[in-house]
Chain A
């Protein structure tokens, strides 16, 4: 008996169902109609976004929350090119994502057909892998391979470009799917002698510092890291994306390091005699432009799943390639407690001497609002941030205790990420409190998704830190470019509460410090749908501490400087 004939699109959707896909974030168009048609009969829920970029950030937020790949479905040409920013975002932060793009028919390829774009070519530099499907019989294998590739080892985005004639053509669902990826390197089992060498290198350190990065979150190594830190008596700092990889509420935590990290974390970097990165790639936000100036007197250790990251930026004394959780679990029994009493005393002194601080006087402060929402939500919310000053303040004042609950565009620094990512997170965790902390600039890049959030009655708290400026660029222009403010004034911002109202979204306003608690409490208690909390903060406030781009921890500026600063040499 011959098997039931299906279209390529039907096989595609069936395969996604078999992979356990709950949601597809998408936006239709001509070339994708066969796929949307197949979705009509599927149990997979389609989240119709208002822009393709939003779809990618939602899928990204979903993936960062669950660890499962986020799936995006868009049409050809502009539909596909609108996903490029989201693909880059997920690539830079190692987030598993599958992007399905409609494409013109195969005979039309290369003919500049209507809504044709070379999506394979355009996305090639930023994908983990990609396919241009030429045979409907290969769809099932390609989906299987894509799931394997996007979420094994160091995760990343996979693009599948699907010509319309291929998704419309008849095929059958194969009985057995065998994947053939001879060049795909699976996560290597960590080499035991490397782990032993690492344990030996740690020995004798008097002033150690553990750095946890995104790799710890991805590998779910938080518990193992805590055991390691407690056994070693070593302080732990986290990168922006590593927040939650070690509880920031723990005594050994020194919070975030880097450009706008805590002063005490950066003091630790400056003075440590051993720095040990677990799942962080020594990114240029946490080290000087000249990598040789980074902790010149400290031993350096590194655990990374990607062999290409080892010794790429920082030459290390010991390294292990593999999964962070597995390695740390195997490392713990091999290490001895370190003599760090003095070091920890010094660190605690720094904590007291240089706490994160701001002045409550002189208008409504973003830091104050964020610190209060941290307290009132008991630090339990899933928090997304956009990109800019508010993001750094959120990183500083919303302490993260658990992994997968702090979602940020770190590597790409994508404005417009925060709000749609919160939609993905809320869909993944419908019962959790999700807070999107966004700036007035970034929020306006993807605010069309207010419809999406409203339609699904997602109780996201959208906290808009509105200073009517592109604050981070303004800060640089104020500090380093003689106050020559260029292109940063966001005059013309809407009244965000009224804007929300037009979508049927509940709005709250905070204009004075005295109102913060009362308003935030009300907003946090509102769960019937999304709400906007419009915090009109002081226009000109700067994020400190700050290490000027390209400089090292020793050059950190802790308090607002009184005189003009030299222009930093670093990139951005």
Chain B
């Protein structure tokens, strides 16, 4: 009996897909659900079974009937609606508007996470700082040519300026946290420069500082390696070159193996196989002393990375001015 019911259900399900119009539908109803339909004719045989079997079969019978009835009703609904308005499945979906977070903010989030995992505090700092914070405390005295390394926007308050680097907060946060400590300062900096594809008067910088009992060039090399390998999601080689900054000694330029050609030489790295990516060094004892740090006990390293520069490399962006262009044709790509 159960088998017969299953067969009827299967037949109904098969024929359901062949119902094309209301006439087919009516035939379907008569065949399965009608007074003399397949189900009705089966029900007349119930009385032949013993009571307990009859109860069980009855339940299953009702289930099958319900199923078939639902098939009938849903097809009926579909055919009637379709008759009223043509439902075009090829019509494009409705446009759902989407808000967006700027690429810079998205990348800052990733960068913060990597440095946070390495134990760095994350700081913001102020954009308007004193000459003392931006220069003097960093061993860049007034009337010294090393000031020419930064083209500065001065404001109409004596001895104040738009920070030229996030290093301006080194001493401030070293005083706040006391060693051993690691932190990054991430934010906008300003340079009085003519702008072109590679130069901007306003960009973001990541300043990193680590002061402790073993914060040295060897640890710096590994911090760079971890950071860049995570950020570019690639194996990366770090190369230090000799350089000069007034607030570090030794001072370094940091190169990474080219993110495109992995050191073989391509147009991005101008055939050198390496990309200039950061400035770094051991913090000058003068600077540590400004932060009241015992230079016989602690030492530390600091580095500065241009945010736009690494984003441009990662996403193949040709012009740094796009970031602050407010152009949705750029912003909506990411």
* A and B: bona fide binding partners: no
